[in-house]
Structure 1
Amino acid sequence: MSTFNKSALGFVCAVALVCLTASAQATLINVDWQGISGTSGQTTYDPGQTGVAVLPGNASDHWNVWQLAASYNPVMDSTGTSTGMTVTQTAPNNGAYKNSLGTAMDAGTTYLMGDYQALYGLPSVSAVTYTFSGLVPTTAFQIVCFGADDDSTHGGTVFTLATANGGATASTSGVDRKISSGAGVAYVSLNGTADANGYLTLTANVNKSTATWAGINGFQLQATVVPEPGTLALLATGLVGLLCYAWRKRR
C-alpha cells in the first residue's frame, strides 16, 4: 500500500469516527400531552410546554406537543430537529383533559402539568403502553415521567420500564403538581438500556391501592437516537468531499 493510500485510509477512518460520534450524541426529547377539558365547557387545546422541566436544557427548548393518537412521528429533539425515532402507544383510553381545579404548579411548567392523558376505570381499562423505536441498540437512557393532577381521587401513576437490563418501576404520589417537590411526587426518573433492536417500552398504570384513575402529563427522554437517513447521507457526502480534498493536496 502506497504512503498516500495509508494516509488516506487513516484520514477516512478518523473522519468516519468523528462523524459517527457526532451523529450518536445523546438527544433530549420532550413530550407534552395536550389536553382539552370535557367538563368545564372548554373547546380549545392548551398551548404547549417550552423550556426546561427536570432534565437540563434551555429556556428555548422545543417540546413535542401531542394530542392523543396511536403513533407519533416525526419526533423532534429539544432543538426542533427531527430525529429518527417513532413513538407508538396502545389505543388511547379516556382522552386528554385540561385541569380546572387550580392546584398549584411551578412557574414555567404550567402547560406541562396543567393537562394530562387520563387513565381511569381500572381494572376494566388497560394500562397505556408506549413503545419507543429508533434508539441506538444497547445504549443507556434516562426517562422522566410526569404523572400528576388536581383531583383528590387521583392516587398516583405507576410507570414501568421494560429494558434490556431488566425492568424498573416507580410511582408518583398524585395530586401535587409541583416539579419542585422532587422525584416521586409529580414525576419519577427511570434509567435503563435500549434492547438489541433499539426499542424501549414504558407502561403507565393506575396505582390501584390508592386510586381508580391516573394522569400522564408527559415525559422527557435523554437517549442516543439513530440518525435519520438524510443525516447519514449528508455525513457520507461530506466524507467523500474531505477525501477528495486530501487526495488533491497529495498531488
Structure 2
Amino acid sequence: MIQLGVNIDHVATLRQARRTFEPDPVMAAYLAVLGGADIITVHLREDRRHIQDRDVKLLRETACTKINLEMSTAPEIVDIALKTKPEQVTLVPEKRQEVTTEGGLDVAFQKTTIREVVKRLKGDGIQVSLFIDPEEIQIAAAKDVGASYIELHTGNYANTGDPVTRNTLIEKLQQGARIARAAGLRVNAGHGLTYQNVGLLVESLNVEELHIGHSIVSRAVFTGIQKAVSEMKELIARHSASKHWVS
C-alpha cells in the first residue's frame, strides 16, 4: 500500500507565531506515528519560518520511523542534513516571498549544483528525492543528476475545481510516473492533497509515498493529530482497493 508521509511543518508554524515552546512538532511526530504515519516529513527552510534546527535534531534522535527532510540546496542546509543524516532528503525549490512551495524544482536549469548536492548526500547514505513537475525534461534531468526518487508536484491537480482540467492533470501525472519508472526512478507524490481530493489521486496514480501536511494538521486542530492521521490512512487504504492505474 502507498506509504503516508505526514508533514508536521504547520505545527511548528503555530508555535513560531508566538516564538514559544508549544505546540511541539516533535510530539506531533510521535502522535502521527501512533496514528499510522509511515514517514515524518519536515521542511527546514533557510528563513526558519517554522521548523527549527532543534526540531530536526530531536526528530532524528527520537523518531521510530523514516524521516524525510525537505530542503533547498543552500550549503548551510546541506551541511545540517549531512550532520543529522535523515533517511531521505527531498530537494525542493525555495523562495522567501512564497507562502508555500509554488512548483517543482527546475532540475534541468540547475544540474551542476543539484548533481553535486545529490552526490554528497548519497555518499553519506542518504536517499535523495527531487520534488518536480511531471515534465519529461525534469524527469530526465533528475535521472541524470543521480536522484533515487522523484516526488511529483500535485499542487495543480489539488487546486483545480474543473473536472476536465483535473482529468488532464491526472493523465499528465500518470505519464510522468510511467516515464520516471521506465528510467529507473522511484516515484512519490505530494502537495496540496486533502481528505477531499486524495481519493481520486490514489485510485489513478501509482506511487510509493504520498506526502501530506496542511490538511492533516488543519483537521488535527479539531480531532487531534493521531485521529487525523488515522483517517487519512483509512482513506488511502480504501481508495487503494479501487485503484485504476496500471503499472
Q: TM-score, normalised by structure 2?
A: 0.27
Q: Which has the higher contact order (CA 8 A, sep 6+)?
A: 1
Q: TM-score, normalised by structure 1?
A: 0.27
Name whichever structure is richer in strand by fraction. Answer: 1
